A and B are shown apart, each in its own frame.
Chain A
Amino acid sequence: MEGHVAHFDSDRGSYSGSSSGHSGESYGYEDAEWLKHVEPDGSLLYVESYVSSTVREKQAQALKAAGTSERKPAFSLPSKDIKKQNKLLGLLKRRPSVRVKGSPRIGLSGEVGGKGGAELSPAPKVTFRDNPSGEVRKVKLQVYEGGNNLGRRASLCETVLGLVPGRFSEPPDSRVMVAGLVPGSQALRNGAIKIGDWLKEVDGAEITWDNLDEVLAELQIPSLITMSVQKCASETLPDETGSDHKRVTQTQLVKVVTGMGGSSSPSTHLQELPHTLLYLSLVGVSEDSPDGADIRYQFPNWSNKLVKVRGMFITAAHTVQEVAGTPALCSTVCVDGEYYHVAYTREHNDVLLLALPHAYVSSHDIVGLMEQISTLIKFEFGTLVKGAGSSRHKGYLDHLMSHILGTVLGQGSQDGMTSSKEELRLNPYLPMVPVTPQSYVMAYPCWLILHDHEETKLQIDNCLSELESGDFGDEDTDCEDSLSLYNIIGSCLFYKGLLVASHLSPEEMRLVWLFTSHHGLLSLTAQESVSQLVGWRRVYLPVESSQDASSPGVHYLLLSAMNHCLLGVLLETGNITDMLDEDAGPDPFLVDQIEASLYHLHALHINTTCEESLTNGGIETISADDRFGKGTPSKKPKDRTDVVEGGLRLPDVPSILKQKSSAPLEPVLYMGEHGGNEWEEEASEDSIAHSSQDSSLAAEEDGREDEPDDDSESDWRIFKPTENRGLHQYDFEMKARPSKAPTSPIRVTCGKESVLFHLVQLEVGEGVLIQAHNSTPNTSPSSPPSHTTAPLHAQILHNFQTTCGHIHHVLQAAVRCKDACGGYQGSSALNTIKEHGVLFTYSPPTTDGGKRRAQTFSYWVVGRLLAAPYQREVYVCYHESVPQNLLEMAFRVSLGCVV
């Protein structure tokens, strides 16, 4: 740590005055890298990756380990001593983030070797100034299978070669640098390879960052390989050269997500696929205007038939609204035998159009998507015309749209059905960005249910509350200045793209979610861990949701992420508005505080908890059914990830109840371990009773599953990870059911009887969702590919999602009917609808030549509309044989979600 302090001095000299705005000279530590990336209008999206995405976990641990000890005083012990101390020292303590990040991490393998799991701390900025020419050496290395068993997160390079790959910070940056050596590896013992070396060739094959894995994958193992490495001279310490700024370490994915990497030219396939987003305005367009003068914004940039007939859509939108009294939502057109949907958003006389092929989106989907896009543009720019209508935002919007439309198109044609669904879909506009299928009809943030961690939840809430109140226990007046510039409206925390905690109102929550989701930040944090992410943008809340419309405050959204956690903070300008330069970037002090909060959360092991909840069950809703699809019982740990695919998201809770946010569910779902209120206990008892009753009915119980003797025992056993394996196995061994192994989202019933495949909850009123989040845990490059998901399982999921969309629509008929206006109305026959269910029967295709008798099995998809005061929809998918009382339980459980 001394190294940091020493370093800090030199930093201070070189960075003073480098920042923008009011606080430039008052804080000498504003050496944050992101400051140089602030756009002229103040917006910012800065992402820094770890040196290698594959070592991120270890690095996170190292950071955490390194950070915890020194951070502690700043947060948990706000002692008077600190602020009376030398300001420099005080600041030092307050700014772990900048310090850790900004200081070069010089080859740490020696220093941190004793830190248990942290040996692998890579050295992204290793420099070697001696040996300027660089000698090329040939190194022979024995590799053998499982040589360096580092778990599934490790990259090939780590497992095979024992080298931690990194990238040079100077071009050409496709070169692979040895960023670290795996302890105990051959490479380390060999001694010939040093940190910082340039890994040039392996067995004669030239190595670049891009082909590294391929080359290594083709290696014969075990074998003796020859590598050539070169010492590299060009790396220099950034602060010593005084170069304007360090190159930001970013993985390919980050570059693509942030739009830093040049986007590749779209494939011809994409060009031939008619789809477009247009913003059309007839203002200032006259007869003799050139063709296309009415197009204020267009994406993608090539024209197609749909663009040519845009006049039709404008007129249609206006006429239809005039006739029907309500705005046009969507049109269906037929071009050359293909159907396309065109969704509209009108703003005054301007129209935003989105056209996509029917093969990719249904008409309901596109309406939902359009609503999201227009809401997002309004959120970011205030109005559509300010955003899409202004040419200076074109680049920005282009990038945003390639995220959004690429996601849609990347899901592939839906007519071709889901057999290919197992392969990882990629965004055609932004290669590298994987596409996770999502429902556009029910687009709300997804909750991650923290499982069995009541305390953690409380800690998170406390941490966010502290941040919001600016309560850092530090009354340093310098800091107060800048803090009072902004009032924090609320904050929310995502982990791997899933909402963990939110102190925002449902509307605001949804806006923040739309922003993070459509800018690819959620999927980015889900994919890989980032070292630092700072996002800053002026945003516009809808008028009705901002409390005092009389004095419209300026709102900002500040995002910060570390590892897999993303913290979003919604700010409002405070009372000292005159001091505020609206185009200034984020206040470094504020960013610092938020990053400090993230560190704090890390120190609380939020990461671990979330990860555990994510992979270790949380709320399991679907079980794998490999046996059915492949004929092998699936007891592998992989199934655990499959299981996670269906997630139940907790309902959002109005912010007044924020301390209770989502907590009440746990006792219900987890059998009242924490002793909930009476009702909850009752519920869990009920469910236990049902489940054990059911299990006694299941005659084909497998011997390996030892039945819990009494209910209370099962409480505890079920939560043990070791038990889960057995539970699954039990499910698979059941012969009475056609090899279907449904697992309840309520773990209570998980082991006993096939109950529910899926439970999903939509809170329209609260703006919160539910619905399956696919492939969340298994998208990291080093983990096994995700296509171990059983096909039937995926099919059911797909059907469930599709059907939910349909049911949602039918249920919403009631709502729509009530506020119908204008000349045309629907019939009112459905306006008291409460429940809608569909029974599916699956009969497997007869591929076995009739050898095996085709077993069919049936499952229900049921949606229920729960009446006021919580306008909520709950969807369940369960096996036909489930008794009604258990089903009622499922609905009941969801009722308990909101207190």
Chain B
Amino acid sequence: MAACTLVGLAASSGVPLFVRHAGPGKPPAYALIGSLNGVHVFGESHGVTLCSTRTKNASFTWRTYHDSIRLVLIRGSEVVADSCDSRLLDLMFASLVLLLGLDNLTSGTNIERLKRDIRPSYLLLDKLLSRAVNSSDNLGFSHLTGCAECVIPPDQHILQSELEKYAEGVDSSCACVMMNGQVVSGTRSFWSLSHMELVLLPLLVATNTFTVARDLPIYLPDKSPNVPFRMLVVKLTGHVYAITLCGPTPTLTEIIRLASSSWAPVYQVLESITTLLPWNIAPGLLSQIDHSVIGLLLVNYDHKKCVSCVHLSEESRSPPLNTAKKSAALEAVYRSVIGPLLQPPAVPPDDFPSRLHPDHVPLESYVSTDSYKVYVMQSSPYHLLILYPPALPIQIARKVTLRTLAIFTKGSMKICRH
């Protein structure tokens, strides 16, 4: 398992605010952290911004936000992916803003207080870190893709209309139904949230073990970094939550009452969603997928959604990969292929332009290892990564991938439908 360390410092004074570490090993000593910070400060004073440094097995990324918070990410990595690391840093900073608000975070004159205020964000930061090091209890790709993780429910329209009714009732335009940190259904204005917000909100819901309902003030890092919203989370069934972003009204008790009255009629539907776990994909679609597919990740950048499934059955003849390995494989391939080669269409281009000729567009790619094959296909606005057993010939993998993409994008079961 890889190791990953995040260090937060006050940019002006260089005082370390927090050090979070995931994976084996220990975070670096304070003296070294100071020196990592000093290097950056020295360069900045001369107009030279140190962005990243890499060694054979690790990469270091520095970034200063709003001249007040400096984050340093040290990440064990065999694949150099500058854009991945800097995107991860942006997510880290956004998760600080999410709970603290930009003004509180950046204007902090009292370092000690800031340290204390940041502490609630540790949960979210650790979640992101453990995703970065690929630990088995935190599977997911939203931090990589910049898109909300979704499930594809069978009766999407019923849920959708119920959700809209519910949102109207609680006087909020932004509402969604989530299951295990994955979005089942969302209102139009929920999907208009920024990429980062769509990644962080489900993570935040998943990190907090809510009981029945919770009222949590949050700032939206892009939409409203300084004016807090109330995030009202109501548990509907064992895994399903209804989330609304509200103003000062209604109160939590009103919400609970409203939720129970409006969701009760569709309880059966909600229960049936639970059966999607752990596949995340409606059985109707699932049955159409070729048996050789043992894992997949589908991203729709236009709609900021991604669906992953690593629980597909595998034929017994190839040594089984556990879900953590499958998801690590998909992540490793995603990081090494998408970004350096295939440009995600809706994500703003990286600082590092591709050196490929503009007329020659890479559209497909594959990686083949001893224990798996991954086929990557780009068909704007989709990226589809499919995991195959190693024995499958690549030509067949290509055909199956094409067919699978068609299953998801054509016909009545479009993932992109709101």
Give the residue name and chain of the B residue nearest to A856 (CB): B361
Query: Given A363-B80, A829-B331, A835-B367, are A339 and B42 also a contact pair (CB < 8 Å)?
Result: no
When the two chains form their complex, are residues A333 and B58 in contact, meaning their CB atoms are under 8 A apart? no
**Contact partners of A417 in chain B: CB under 8 A:** 357-358
Give the residue name and chain of the B residue nearest to A327 (CB): B55
List, sorted by A's number, 14 A–B pairs whose CB atoms are closer than 8 Å: A312-B43, A328-B53, A328-B54, A330-B54, A333-B49, A363-B80, A795-B360, A796-B360, A824-B74, A825-B58, A827-B2, A837-B368, A841-B361, A844-B359
Q: Which of B306-348 contact A (CB under 8 A)?
A: 325, 328-329, 331-333, 336-337, 340-341
**Contact partners of B32 in chain A: CB under 8 A:** 319, 322-323
When the two chains form their complex, are residues A841 and B80 in contact, meaning their CB atoms are under 8 A apart? no
Q: Which of A292-338 contact B (CB under 8 A)?
A: 305-306, 308-309, 311-312, 315-316, 319-336
Give the residue name and chain of the B residue nearest to A810 (CB): B336
- Partner among B51, B368, B369 whose Cβ is within 8 Å of the Cβ of A339: B51
Pick from A334, A810, A843 the residue with the most CB of B within 10 Å.
A810
CA A322 to CA B51, docked complex, whole Å: 19
B35 CB–A CB distance under 8 Å: yes
Q: How far is the CB of B393 from chain A (nearest CB, A)?
A: 6
When the two chains form their complex, are residues A837 and B53 in contact, meaning their CB atoms are under 8 A apart? no
- Nearest 7 Cβ contacts at the A-B interface: A826-B78, A824-B76, A832-B370, A824-B58, A829-B332, A839-B364, A835-B368
A799 CB–B CB distance under 8 Å: yes
Q: Add 13 more A-B contacts to A315-B42, A323-B36, A830-B336 (CB < 8 A).
A: A305-B46, A316-B50, A322-B32, A332-B51, A414-B355, A821-B57, A824-B25, A824-B76, A825-B2, A832-B371, A835-B368, A836-B365, A839-B363
**Contact partners of B264 in chain A: CB under 8 A:** none
Residues in B lying within 8 Å of A, measured CB to CB: 1-3, 24-26, 28, 32, 35-36, 38-39, 42-43, 46-58, 60, 74-80, 82, 133-134, 325, 328-329, 331-333, 336-337, 340-341, 351-353, 355-371, 393-395
When the two chains form their complex, are residues B359 and A817 in contact, meaning their CB atoms are under 8 A apart? no
CA A721 to CA B149, docked complex, whole Å: 60
Query: Given A826-B2, A829-B331, are A321 and B55 also a contact pair (CB < 8 Å)?
Result: yes
A548 CB–B CB distance under 8 Å: no
When the two chains form their complex, are residues A830 and B79 in contact, meaning their CB atoms are under 8 A apart? yes
A679 CB–B CB distance under 8 Å: no
Q: How far is the CB of B64 from chain A (nearest CB, A)?
A: 11
Pick from A418, A827, A835 the residue with the most CB of B within 10 Å.
A827
- Partner among B55, B75, B341 whose Cβ is within 8 Å of the Cβ of A838: B341
CA A452 to CA B368, docked complex, whole Å: 36
When the two chains form their complex, are residues A816 and B57 in contact, meaning their CB atoms are under 8 A apart? yes
- Partner among A315, A332, A796, A830 whose Cβ is within 8 Å of the Cβ of B35: A315
Q: Which of A185-232 contact B (CB under 8 A)?
A: none
When the two chains form their complex, are residues A329 and B54 in contact, meaning their CB atoms are under 8 A apart? yes
- Partner among A803, A809, A830 whose Cβ is within 8 Å of the Cβ of B367: A830
Pick from B51, B54, B353 the residue with the most CB of A within 10 Å.
B54
When the two chains form their complex, are residues A832 and B76 in contact, meaning their CB atoms are under 8 A apart? no
Chain A: residues with Cβ within 8 Å of the partner, total of: 75
Q: How far is the CB of B374 from chain A (nearest CB, A)?
A: 10
A37 CB–B CB distance under 8 Å: no
- Partner among A334, A803, A837, A884 whose Cβ is within 8 Å of the Cβ of B366: A837
**Contact partners of A824 in chain B: CB under 8 A:** 2-3, 25, 57-58, 74-77
When the two chains form their complex, are residues A826 and B368 in contact, meaning their CB atoms are under 8 A apart? no
Q: How far is the CB of A867 from chain B (nearest CB, A)?
A: 9
When the two chains form their complex, are residues A315 and B38 in contact, meaning their CB atoms are under 8 A apart? yes
CA A321 to CA B53, docked complex, whole Å: 10
A719 CB–B CB distance under 8 Å: no
CA A810 to CA B79, docked complex, whole Å: 7
CA A334 to CA B82, docked complex, whole Å: 14
When the two chains form their complex, are residues A836 and B359 in contact, meaning their CB atoms are under 8 A apart? no
Q: How far is the CB of A786 from chain B (nearest CB, A)?
A: 19
A248 CB–B CB distance under 8 Å: no
A820 CB–B CB distance under 8 Å: yes
CA A677 to CA B80, docked complex, whole Å: 43
When the two chains form their complex, are residues B357 and A418 in contact, meaning their CB atoms are under 8 A apart? yes
Query: Given A839-B363, A842-B360, are A306 and B48 also a contact pair (CB < 8 Å)?
Result: yes
Pick from B133, B325, B360 the residue with the most CB of A within 10 Å.
B360
**Contact partners of A844 in chain B: CB under 8 A:** 359
Q: How far is the CB of A898 from chain B (nearest CB, A)?
A: 22
Pick from B74, B332, B355 the residue with the most CB of A within 10 Å.
B355
**Contact partners of B362 in chain A: CB under 8 A:** 803, 838-841
**Contact partners of A802 in chain B: CB under 8 A:** 355-356
Give the residue name and chain of the B residue nearest to A319 (CB): B35
**Contact partners of A328 in chain B: CB under 8 A:** 53-55
- Partner among B52, B353, B359 whose Cβ is within 8 Å of the Cβ of A843: B359
Give the residue name and chain of the A residue nearest to B370 (CB): A832
Query: Given A326-B55, A821-B57, are A813 and B356 also a contact pair (CB < 8 Å)?
Result: no
**Contact partners of A838 in chain B: CB under 8 A:** 337, 341, 362, 364-365
Query: Given A323-B28, A825-B3, are A845 and B78 also a contact pair (CB < 8 Å)?
Result: no
CA A843 to CA B2, docked complex, whole Å: 40
CA A822 to CA B358, docked complex, whole Å: 40
CA A339 to CA B51, docked complex, whole Å: 9
**Contact partners of A336 in chain B: CB under 8 A:** 47
**Contact partners of B28 in chain A: CB under 8 A:** 322-323, 823
A833 CB–B CB distance under 8 Å: yes
**Contact partners of A835 in chain B: CB under 8 A:** 366-368, 394
**Contact partners of A316 in chain B: CB under 8 A:** 39, 50, 53
**Contact partners of A803 in chain B: CB under 8 A:** 341, 356, 362
CA A838 to CA B343, docked complex, whole Å: 13
**Contact partners of B42 in chain A: CB under 8 A:** 309, 311-312, 315
When the two chains form their complex, are residues B53 and A331 in contact, meaning their CB atoms are under 8 A apart? yes
Q: How far is the CB of B294 from chain A (nearest CB, A)?
A: 14
When the two chains form their complex, are residues A830 and B3 in contact, meaning their CB atoms are under 8 A apart? no
CA A140 to CA B76, docked complex, whole Å: 78
A806 CB–B CB distance under 8 Å: yes
Query: Given A333-B51, A820-B78, A840-B362, are A799 and B356 also a contact pair (CB < 8 Å)?
Result: yes
CA A414 to CA B134, docked complex, whole Å: 35
**Contact partners of B337 in chain A: CB under 8 A:** 838
When the two chains form their complex, are residues B78 and A816 in contact, meaning their CB atoms are under 8 A apart? yes
A240 CB–B CB distance under 8 Å: no
Pick from B43, B394, B395 the residue with the most CB of A within 10 Å.
B43
A358 CB–B CB distance under 8 Å: yes
When the two chains form their complex, are residues B49 and A319 in contact, meaning their CB atoms are under 8 A apart? no
**Contact partners of B1 in chain A: CB under 8 A:** 825, 827
Give the residue name and chain of the A residue nearest to B365 (CB): A838
**Contact partners of B82 in chain A: CB under 8 A:** 332, 363
A415 CB–B CB distance under 8 Å: yes
When the two chains form their complex, are residues B47 and A837 in contact, meaning their CB atoms are under 8 A apart? no
- Partner among B24, B77, B394 whose Cβ is within 8 Å of the Cβ of A837: B394
A798 CB–B CB distance under 8 Å: yes
A834 CB–B CB distance under 8 Å: yes
CA A763 to CA B133, docked complex, whole Å: 32
CA A845 to CA B360, docked complex, whole Å: 10
A234 CB–B CB distance under 8 Å: no
**Contact partners of B60 in chain A: CB under 8 A:** 320, 323-324
**Contact partners of B358 in chain A: CB under 8 A:** 417
CA A456 to CA B354, docked complex, whole Å: 44
When the two chains form their complex, are residues B360 and A799 in contact, meaning their CB atoms are under 8 A apart? yes
**Contact partners of B371 in chain A: CB under 8 A:** 832
When the two chains form their complex, are residues A839 and B365 in contact, meaning their CB atoms are under 8 A apart? yes
CA A820 to CA B24, docked complex, whole Å: 14
Q: Which of A325-365 contact B (CB under 8 A)?
A: 325-336, 339, 358, 362-364
When the two chains form their complex, are residues A806 and B340 in contact, meaning their CB atoms are under 8 A apart? yes
**Contact partners of B3 in chain A: CB under 8 A:** 823-825
When the two chains form their complex, are residues A798 and B357 in contact, meaning their CB atoms are under 8 A apart? yes
Give the residue name and chain of the A residue nearest to B36 (CB): A319
When the two chains form their complex, are residues A833 and B369 in contact, meaning their CB atoms are under 8 A apart? yes
**Contact partners of A327 in chain B: CB under 8 A:** 55-56
Give the residue name and chain of the B residue nearest to A414 (CB): B355
When the two chains form their complex, are residues B369 and A832 in contact, meaning their CB atoms are under 8 A apart? yes
